[in-house]
A and B are shown apart, each in its own frame.
Chain A
Amino acid sequence: MSDVKYSKEHEWIKLDGDVATIGITKHATEMLGDIVFAELPEKGSNVEKDGTAGVVESTKAASDVYTPVSGEVVDTNQAIVDDPSKINQDPENSAWFFKLKIKDPAEMDTLMNKDDYDKFAKETSA
């Protein structure tokens, strides 16, 4: 999993060729609580780095989901829209949010690796 990168907005991103899979981190789900609603970007739409690309809602509140890199949405995970509790169960694997055909691979370099993210998450939630 060393090829997985993380953003300060608590998204994870895994690159495979020029297609990136993006979801929210386990730490994010723990902060949000039970997720009961998910909204994803439209297939074929273009999203910009750090722009909103979806919404998750817990019983308590709504939170935006951001995209850590720019690109065209090539796939979305309908399973988490139909059953948002899957996001709490398996956030960093089967409960991915969307896939992007990325525009600029250099944007990946601005993101954190796992160790840095874990440290960041620990510091910001203290």
Chain B
Amino acid sequence: METKKTSLYQLHQDCNAKFVEFAGYQMPIQYSEGIVEEHKFTRNHSGIFDVSHMGQLFIYGGKDLIKDLEKIFPLDLKNLKLNHSKYSFLMDKDAGIHDDLIITKINEGFLIILNAACKDNDFKILKELLREKYKMVLDENRSLIAIQGPKSSQILNKVVDGVNDLNFMSGNWFSFENQKVYITRSGYTGEDGFEISIPNDFADKLTRELIDKGSKLIGLGARDTLRLEAGLCLYGHDLDKDKTPVEANLKWAISKERISKGDFIGSDIIIKQLNDGVSKIRVGIKPEGRIIAREKTKIFNQSDVHIGEITSGTFGPSVNGPVAMGYVENEFSKKDTKVFLEVRGKKHPASICSLPFYKKSYVKGVN
């Protein structure tokens, strides 16, 4: 299959991007300044991310749709206000995670943002679960542009007036060049920021204007170091079908109201795990010194027993040191527990730590 290109491909080339293939797309891994500078620029100023490879699934429907989606997602969707967003998961019956996602209530139904590598499978699963009762569009005609970092609201507001008024995890329709764009205040970096859903033909123009106002394009490389410092999971690494939301330490995202009823896919396992505990759990891991423990690095306890594995690990430019997360046996998951990481045949000391590694600066409002 030929790799796809996003609407910003030409712009990435103009900005000297190095490309990698990611989920069937040619995506920029970094630009000329490199991952560390791009990372820091996002933390200190404002970075633009082309995330057009992600799925934008529009599902149209009313009250029936809400009821049907509540059978799938562990969310209190009846009480989700118009234009408000929630983080959630698509699970199998054993509560294994097919995908993690952001779902937003829009006027005509819901907008769900899906991971690029999962979107086609998610679409198939959801179509079957919803028995083709509703109009579902996995929209290939829209791009998704994220702008993240402390200067982003100021910059975006100059280009799309009014976005400053959005609260965190909420969105609305705005206008750019007479086009309807849907903008949410959200992101994946631990910074204040926005995600902009815009018709493909206007994505390049919008992005060039944002660059003109002082933001810069940032590649997937820095996106990964930023999200890891923020303690956020990457599907296919920190989350997959062999892990449940409880094991992933994401039970905050499961509605308490829905647990009491327990009538969603995977609820039996979720309830059992919430009551009885889990055998493995996701934790933050801080290696001592500078050693980088990458994905699949084995974790040992102080008696040299294998107790888990790293699922994401890199160098955190803002932390100025290595950062990692992974799954360990529950009894070793307490903060400050000493562990050892096997890197190139040698065991290196590390400790379990709380997430995030880098404190968020999301502004105003929670829903």
Contact = CB atoms under 8 A, between A and B. Distances in A.
A36 B315 contact: yes
Contacts of B98: none
B292 interface: yes
A33 B292 contact: no
A60 B30 CA distance: 11
B85 interface: no
A33 B30 contact: yes
Nearest to B346: A39
B35 interface: yes
Interface extent on A, as a size class?
A: 10 to 19
B232 interface: no
Contact of A33 (B34, B290, B322): B34
Nearest to B39: A59
Interface extent on B, as a size class?
A: 10 to 19
A33 B222 CA distance: 12
A100 to B, nearest CB: 21
Contact of A59 (B225, B290, B291): B225
Interface string A41-78: 00000000000000101111110000000000000000
B314 A59 contact: yes
Given A34-B34, A34-B36, A36-B292, A59 B221 contact: yes
Interface string A17-54: 00000000000000001101100000000000000000
B105 interface: no
B294 interface: yes
Contacts of B221: 33, 59-60
Contacts of B34: 33-34
Determine chain B's interface SS by DSSP, over half rule: mixed
B63 interface: no
Given A55-B344, A59-B221, A59-B314, A37 B292 contact: yes
Nearest to B35: A59
A57 B221 CA distance: 14
A36 B36 contact: yes
Contact of B290 (A34, A37, A61, A62): A37
Interface in B312-360: 314-315, 317, 322, 344
A33 B29 CA distance: 11
Given A33-B30, A36-B315, A60 B292 contact: no
Contacts of B30: 33
Contacts of B37: 34
Contacts of A62: 292, 294, 344
Contact of A37 (B35, B291, B317): B291
A37 B315 contact: yes
Contacts of A34: 34-37
A65 to B, nearest CB: 12
Contacts of A61: 294
A36 B318 CA distance: 12
Contacts of A37: 290-292, 315, 322
B73 to A, nearest CB: 34
B313 to A, nearest CB: 10
Contacts of A55: 344
Contacts of A60: 29, 35, 221
Nearest to A36: B315
Contacts of A81: 290
Contacts of B317: 36, 59
Nearest to A82: B290
A78 to B, nearest CB: 12
A90 to B, nearest CB: 16
Contacts of B29: 60
Nearest to A84: B290
The 7 A-B residue pairs with the shortest CB-CB distance, nearest first, are A36-B315, A34-B36, A59-B35, A34-B34, A57-B292, A37-B290, A37-B292
Interface of A: 33-34, 36-37, 55, 57-62, 81, 84-85
Given A33-B34, A57-B292, A81-B290, 9 more contacts: A33-B30, A33-B221, A34-B37, A36-B317, A37-B290, A59-B35, A59-B221, A59-B315, A60-B221
11 contacts: A34-B34, A34-B36, A37-B290, A37-B291, A37-B292, A37-B315, A37-B322, A57-B292, A58-B35, A59-B36, A60-B221
